[in-house]
Every structure is written in structure tokens, then in C-alpha cells.
Structure 1
Amino acid sequence: MRAPRVLPTLDEVDTGDHVCQVLAPSDDAIDRSRAFVADGALHGDKVLIVGPAPQAASEFAQLVLDPARLNGSLLSAVRREAATADREGFRSLRVLHHVMPDYRAQRNGEWLRSELDLEEFAADTGAMVVCAYSDGDWDLATLQQISCVHPHHLGSRPVSPAFRVYRTEQEGWTVTGTVDSDGAVTFGTILGTLLAHTPTVRLLCDNLEFFDASGMSALADAARCLPDRKVILHGTNETVRLAWKLSGFAVPDIPVVMAP
């Protein structure tokens, strides 16, 4: 069973992990890439480094995939590499993604879609995916959003989101923590992104600590925007189900099912 955890070093990355690594300006990205490649050789993994080619040292330049030169999506590329790794007898695929700011992608929600795709890919295939963000390139609010869709975290500056949404089963996403006014907008954005690509989104809420009115409103708004889709929440307690009903959200035009 996958569960959120903080990793002290990249050496602790295991199969199926999707890690958010926050780099300080003083961190040497090339040195960390070198260690990641060495761990791949040690464990029999195929290594892929995603990032602009000039950032990579020549010693492992053949492992680098420049996202600007992709023929198709990043998800398609890593799936092809995972299939190749399996055919060639590697234990798994390990991906180090140096994420560069793309403000158009942030505005359009493409960065979030990409992270959710990578989370699903890691959980479903057993690949290891580390997404490295330089805190000098990203503001704290964005880093908090990014962390919400990574079950694992490593970095010199701790980022502790109020809630996390991560893949746990072939057709389910677990929600942990607290969804309140601070994270309601992000929660709604994540749900909207999932609903745009999946007819039915199943949320496993057994470890959801608190879900306030703003969180419920964000859930209702996301579901209402795509009435041909459905959100099913499993593991909700009686208080949450009653609050949902009393808030006026338990109506046919909001395709949300609250299940115990």
C-alpha cells in the first residue's frame, strides 16, 4: 500500500514512488543527477533524465530527454521508456524530472495534469519518478500546490500541504489531511483536472481528517461543471454526509455520491 512519507535522501526512493524534491539555490543539480544515475546502475534500473540538455553533464547526456523536443506528451514518452526497460530486463524505470517554469502551462493547468499523469504512471507501473523543483524558480504557493499531488517529499525546504491526493488503486485516488478554505481552490482544480479525463473519479477518504464548507463547495463546483461525469467519495463519515446534505449539495445536478 502506498502511503505519504518524507525521504531523507534520494537513496530512499523505491519502486512506485512519486517524489517532490525541492532544491535550494545552493544544491548542485548535476551532482544529484549523478547520484540518481549511480543508484539506477546499482539496482538494475533504466534511468531517464527529463530536462533541458544543457543542464546535463556530458557523462550521462545519452540519458537526457529534452521536453522541448518531445514528439507527443511527457506521459507517452515515459511509458515508451518503461516498456523498453521491461523488454530489456531492467528492474524498473527511474525518472528524474527537472521541472522548469512554464507560466503558460501553469495558467492552463497543464503542469497539474502532467503531475497527476506521472503520479498515476508511477503507482500503476512501479516506476520511480522524482520531480525536482528549484525553490528559486517557484513561489511558495505554487510549491504547496505541487506537493498536494506528490505522496512523497524530499528537499532542503520542507513543504507540507494541508492535504494530498494520490493514486492508490487502479481506479481510485486517496485524499488525506484537511481540505479547508486554504486548500479549497487547489482541491477543486485537482478534481476538475481528473474529471476532464475520467468519467468517474473515486476518492478514498478514510484518512481525510477534515472537510469544511469551502472544500465541499469546491467539490460541488468541480462536479457541476461536468455533469456527465461523477465523483464517488468512499469512506466518508456520517458527519460529512450530513453536512453535505444540509448544505444543499445532495441534489441531482451535482453528480457526487457520498458513500460510507
Structure 2
Amino acid sequence: MRAARSLATLDEVESGDHVCQLLEPAENAVERSRAFVADGALFGDKLVIVGSDGRPAPEFADAPALVVLDPARLEGSSLLAAVRREAASAGREGFRSLRILRHVTADHRGPRPDTMLQSELDLEEFAADSGATVLCTYRPGDWDPPILDQVRCVHPHHVGSRPEAPGFRVFRTGEGRWTVSGVIDAEGAAAFGAVLRSLVAHARILRLTCHDLEFFDAAGMSVLADAARLLPERVVIIEGANDTVRLCWGLSGFAVPEVPVVMVP
């Protein structure tokens, strides 16, 4: 069962992990990723690099089974299609799995901010369903904090100490099922709303497992209701909501047919 966790080093990365690595201003992305690449060769994984200019760093040029994808040609769902093709070929070629190293840059060759969240949700789904290992590297100074919050909260695994905000994680734990853990309050409500809107748009029935959700305040409930209203033909099922959450949901006026959300214990 997948669970959110922090990793002390990249040596702790396991199959199926979707890891977020945040760089300090002076840190080098290649140096920080070296252990991830080396372990791929050790375990027999096929390495895919999504780089800033479609070319591998010279230090990785001799890595076995190296495929480089140019981000300028991978907007939206084409990134998911590309890694699925590489995964299929990896199986035929005898590799254990796929290992994806993604250096996400804020220049003109990188993903547009409006597509970043969906691309990370796609990679999260791909990692969970295929067992591939994905490492996404960001330099926080390159991004507006709200954008960075959105992409961080859909990475269940982080290198180093867990970021203070947002205080929740949304990650894939089964077909059509996503787990929500941590705390959803006013500080994280905007990011939670963005994630919900992306998920609802791609699932007729969206199941959110909330047994590990520690706190869910009025701001979080409001963005949940707003996201569900956008596409009334869809249904959001909240599983594991405690008595207090279900009571507050009803008292807030959200337990109405116009809000297609079902809360179950």
C-alpha cells in the first residue's frame, strides 16, 4: 500500500515512488540526481530523462539504456503517452521497470504553469499503476509559491524534510482511487481545489480515501463543493470521513443534490 513519506536520501527510493526533490539556489540538479541514476543501472531499470533542453547532462551520457525526451515537444498528455511507450518497450527489452528523471525548469522550454499540475498527476498515476520510479526536481526560486504548492502536494514522496506547506498529500492508491492525507485548512485550500478540479475533470466517479486526513476545515470543504459543482454529471465519493466532518458538511449546507459529493464512513 502506497503511503506518503519523506526520504533522507535518494538511496531510499523504491519502485513506484513519485519523488519531489527541491533544490537550494546553489545546488546542481545533476549532482543531486546522481544516486538516482546509479541505482537505476544497479537494479536494471531503463532510464528516461526529461531535461531542460532535450539533451542529457554529459555526466549521464554513458548511462545504460538512456532515453532523452525533449520537454518542448511534450506538452500536456503527450508526456504521459511518451513514458507509456518507453515503459512498454522497456518490458520487451528485458528491463525491470522504468526510471524517470525530470528536471522541471521555468524557462520557455519547460511546461506551462497551467499544464504542470496535470502532468504531475499523470506521472503520479503512472508510477502507482506501473511500478515505475519517478524523480521530479524543482528549484523553488523559479516558481510562484501557489504553483509550487500544487505540484508538491501530488508527490507522495519527498527528499529531505517534508515541506511545511501545503500540509496535505493527494496520491494514487488504486483504480479510480486517490488517498488524501495530512491537513487541509485555509492555507492549503487553493492547492486542494486545483487538484480536485483536475481529478474531477478526468474521472466520472472520483473516490478519495480520507482515513489519514487529520483535519479538514471549512475552507477545504468549500473548495470541494465548488469543484464538484463544476461537472455535476460526475460524482465525488469521500471515504473514511469521520463523524465530525460529515456533520460539518451537512451544517455548512453542502449536503444537497446540487453538490454531487457522497460522504461515507
| Post-superposition offset of 1:31 | 2.6
Q: Secondary structure at the residue paired with 1:257?
A: strand
Q: Tell me, yes or no, if the aligned pair for 1:203 and 1:231 is still in contact at 8 Å.
A: yes
Distance 1:195 1:75 in 2: 18
Match of 1:105 in 2: 112
Partner of 2:67: 63
Q: Give 1:179's aligned residue.
A: 184
TM-score normalised by structure 1 residue count: 0.92
Asked whether the equivalents of residues 44 and 96 of structure 2 are also in contact (C-alpha less than 8 Å), the reply is yes
Distance 1:102 1:158, change over 3 A: farther
> Do 1:85 and 1:92's aligned partners in 2 also have CA atoms closer than 8 Å?
yes
Select between 4-13 and 198-207 the one with higher mean Cα deviation: 4-13
Q: Say whether 1:6 aligns with 2:17.
A: no
Does the aligned pair in 2 maintain the 1:143–1:159 contact within 8 Å? no
Select between 9-18 and 64-73 the one with higher mean Cα deviation: 64-73
Q: Secondary structure at the match of 2:199?
A: helix
Per-residue displacement from partner, 1:119-160 (whole Å, max 9, x unpaired)?
0100000000000001231244433322111100015x7523
The correspondence for 2:253, drawn from 207, 227, 248, is: 248
Question: What SS does the aligned partner of 1:53 have?
Answer: coil
- 1:8-27 alignment to 2 at 5 Å? 8-27=8-27
Are the aligned partners of 1:17 and 1:129 in contact in 2 as well (CA < 8 Å)? yes
Does residue 84 of structure 1 match 2:85?
A: no
Matched-pair identity in %: 61
1:102/1:116 CA distance change after superposition, 3 Å: farther
TM-score (norm 2): 0.90
1:214 aligns with one of 202, 219, 222: 219
The 8 Å contact of residues 30 and 57 in structure 1, kept in 2 or not, is answered as no
Gaps of 5+ in 1: none
The answer to whether the 8 Å contact 2:100/2:134 transfers is yes
Aligned AA (2:232) = P
Question: Aligned to 1:203, which of 208, 221, 233?
Answer: 208
In structure 2, stretches of 5+ residues that fail to align are none
Q: CA deviation at 1:54?
A: 5.0
Task: State the distance in 1 between where 2:60 and 2:245 align.
Answer: 55
Give the number of equivalent residue pairs.
257
Asked if the contact 2:168–2:181 (Cα under 8 Å) also holds between the matched residues in 1, the reply is yes
How far apart are residue 112 of structure 1 and its match?
A: 0.5
Contact kept, 8 Å, 1:173 with 1:203, in 2: the verdict is yes
Q: How far apart are the structure 1 equivalents of 2:198 and 2:107? A: 18
CA displacement, residues 65-112 of structure 1 (integer Å, 9 cap, x when unaligned): 111134961000111111111111111100000011269822x3x111
Equivalent residues of 1:180, 1:211 under 8 A apart: yes
CA deviation vs aligned residue, 1:32-55 (integer Å, no higher than 9, x gap): 344332211111111011012356
